[in-house]
Structure 1
């Protein structure tokens, strides 16, 4: 193992659970698919910093966020960092029905996702060393009827509290790192290539009509939302530097009054919107709004039925290594042109074979500019445009 090599959160946590070092950190089931994490609030009278914050402190030390004897102890921030890491990771899913937060020794339960249960073989020797370490582990009417049903369905979801939202936003915005610029001489398909252009082209459409087209500039990505981001306490969570794109008023588009009314009702559920950003390994999104959001794109599980964005969960919309590999294969004549366009549909299921895109109330088209520039560099833009026209003429609008 290379000196200083680090375990991923999943592997690190498995080591901690197995170690028995932390009181209350244990497996929830015999098959070891779920585990408990002690979750005592610091305001409790019997809160013991040394015991109740031990696991959170260990993660902060392991990630280099806390240096014993040099940094001020901040158990609240330690806990927030681990909670953020768990919520962002695709390896874990919280199991609220098993949580016990009102007892003397409260705890939360997390499930290790099925495809993540086994530790990667190349990590085994790293985990073994970590265990041995003695220190801390470092139709219009019909359509309107369907849209009304979609709006009604939106109301079924519980609102996200401002505190919880601020915490999630803090996690996403504070943990992203800006990468160094890639030298122009670097081989395009080098394994060490890191994308340095984090801009996106975002176009909003109301009933098929473009109402906004923006190129984002912030490296923290952008919010698409109704209104403004209700941060509330920037002293704790830091300033929000993600660009904010607010939905224009439906009056900006010539629509029947019934359609405009439906759109206004939908916008009421999009106050907190979604956060989009480009990172070195992909394009990501996190949904904060109460209204439901559906999407299509390179990483979408389904192409013929809806893909829903779950609230409080990070989704990867495009995987950059996969895109670059596909582009490489395409240029060698060994594969098709890789896709990089992403579509979001607010309040209505999408993709929907029964309702074409131009009849959806609110949609967003997102294009990461690094991908568009690569297409232009290799003269693939015109080829892709011709392919799209051919497919539409063949009656296949959704591609």
Structure 2
């Protein structure tokens, strides 16, 4: 018997949100939905909490490979979701919430449709006086017309995401039925969660921008706020204090040779490595046999001894003290621009004279606080710092002290990383 083809994740997920059969999976606003995200290690975690993850394992055909592995179901779901960063944007990460762990995502509307929608929203002929199109006193007709215009825009967005079967229109709240039998479905009363609070203007020491490239293609780009970040494929740590980020799959690639060698590297990553943010810098701890080479420069010149991260050893990748000294010299026009972006090459030596975009797997880590103060120093060359009367020429003992001077944030207490320091054989 012929098996069913694997569905497109984007359209599949939207359909699951609409069914209402998954606890905690629902719309929370226009083009926004929440996903339950309870950690498997919690005592109160049950089958209902991971129902959506199992559903994707079944739909994608992976359930036969891992029939009882709940952690793997969740990992595959997260990888598929992260791999579609151009369609889904993480709005709020409440996965550490004790009472209701969940994440909120937004369905991204292409710029062409946003522009069209914006023009329609401000078209006085359509929205300012909708009753002009109907007889005086026809309130029902006016309401119907408004619902109709909202439905049209929602319909376009959903159809755009529906690639596996363009003829099938999901039963999204407020969406038109098929054209042969047009029916306006009234919008139900939906509970709208309040929008998340915006982060302070100055990033904290734990704010990181993570980008993952498979050769020239950017497979994932996301911002995280954490002290411990695990880059893995597919074995996720069970430590609740560690933010896990799974490498994307190679499903979107087309070069068969690239896919083959990239998968070989991915299969050797396993638990990968953990990044740890401390007051004096950013460190890395490699867990498995996949070799990782790190540098704070994207130079293509071959280095005689590229920094290879040792196994089971905490290694400093970036010194905040060196960054501050370079930043001060840069502002005084007595030194080069500070280097603070971390490049990690998995499975291949770097730098080795070959362009970075030729490498199979590269992870780029940008400490957002370092970027912020670097940009402020650049602006000062043209005018002056407008954030406050602070001068970077003042001596600071740490990056945390500089940040706290701007926004007054307390130093966060760091969780213990000892459970991650398990003894493993050397490679």
Q: Give the TM-score range, shorter chain.
A: 0.3 to 0.5
TM-score normalised by length of structure 2: 0.40
Higher gyration radius (CA)? 2
